[in-house]
Amino acid sequence: MNIINKPYFNGSAIKWLWPGSVSILLLWMPSSATAQVRDIPVEVFVGNRAIAHQMYLTKYTDSNSRFGYFGYLRIETPYLDRKKSIFLGQSLFFYDVFKGVSLAGGGYITSAGFMPQLAIAYGRNVGNLSLTVFASYEPVKPANSEIFALISYSPPLNKRGNWRLFTQLIGSYNFSYKKNLRYNFANQYLRLGLSYDDWQFGLATDLVQENNVGLLPTNSGLFLRRLL
């Protein structure tokens, strides 16, 4: 998911404040006003370099359908220069060809415009471990591909199961065929903390690498997340 090698979003302060306000409202919204099945993580991350908001979801059209939707939203704003905020919104519509394997089409949008994607995805839940991986192809010139992974592990800490350890890795590797598969960018979002009912909180670190720069300044801090 490319949020790095695209031009920065140069919106007004209102455009920066609005997503943050929405994040806070979603976090503290009463449960009765949200979906009955709370499985959409909404996160606010306050780091040493920037504040970030992200959320993602996977939904089927109904309980028996093979058609579904995957969405991912991320907004990051540096403290020193709000005009350099980064925005990414991704949408993929998928069809389960057989258990755990899906074909998808869609794309993502940044301040630079829209990037189409074709993808094949694999997802599986084994006990307290959840895994989603997809490989996508971006049909542009020069053509790119991306490998995206979302891995969560959350074992219970008490008999009731409302307290859990929470660990998660969201990572992506975007590369160009023109550059002999050298990466355009890569990123890793690491989370380690606790989960209590529909809330998750703890330590967070975001790592980002760019092809021409290498490792960018790490953003580390605290995250607060709620399942809607």
**Residue 5 resides in a domain:** no
The yes-or-no verdict on residue 3 having pLDDT over 60 is no
Residue 192 has a pLDDT of 99
Q: With bands split at pLDDT 50, 70 and 90, how would you rate the model's confidence at 111?
A: confident
**Residue 8 resides in a domain:** no
Q: How many domains does the chain have?
A: 1
| Helix (H), strand (E), coil (C) string for the chain | CCCCCCCCECCCHHHHHHHHHHHHHHHHCCHHHCCCCCCCEEEEEEECCEEEEEEEEEEECCCCCCEEEEEEEEEEEECCCHHHEEEEEEEEEEEEEECCEEEEEEEEEECCEEEEEEEEEEEEEECCEEEEEEEEEECCCCCEEEEEEEEEECCECCCCCCEEEEEEEEEEEEEECCCCCCEEEEEEEEEEEEEECCEEEEEEEEEEEECCCEECCCEEEEEEEEEC
**Residue 156 resides in a domain:** yes
The yes-or-no verdict on residue 50 having pLDDT over 50 is yes
Q: How far apart are CA 75 and CA 50, in angstroms?
A: 10
Span 135-139, average pLDDT: 95
**Residue 51 resides in a domain:** yes
Residue 12 has a pLDDT of 40
Residue 31 has a pLDDT of 43
| CATH code: domain of residue 73 | 2.40.160
Measured in Å, how far apart are the chain's first and last C-alpha atoms? 23
Range of the domain at 195: 13-227
Is 0.95 topped by the overall pTM?
Answer: no
Q: With bands split at pLDDT 50, 70 and 90, how would you rate the model's confidence at 37?
A: low
**Residue 7 resides in a domain:** no
**Residue 112 resides in a domain:** yes
**Residue 2 resides in a domain:** no
**Residue 113 resides in a domain:** yes
Q: What share of the chain has pLDDT > 90, as a percent?
A: 64
Residue 34 has a pLDDT of 35
Q: With bands split at pLDDT 50, 70 and 90, how would you rate the model's confidence at 25?
A: very low
Residue 27 has a pLDDT of 54
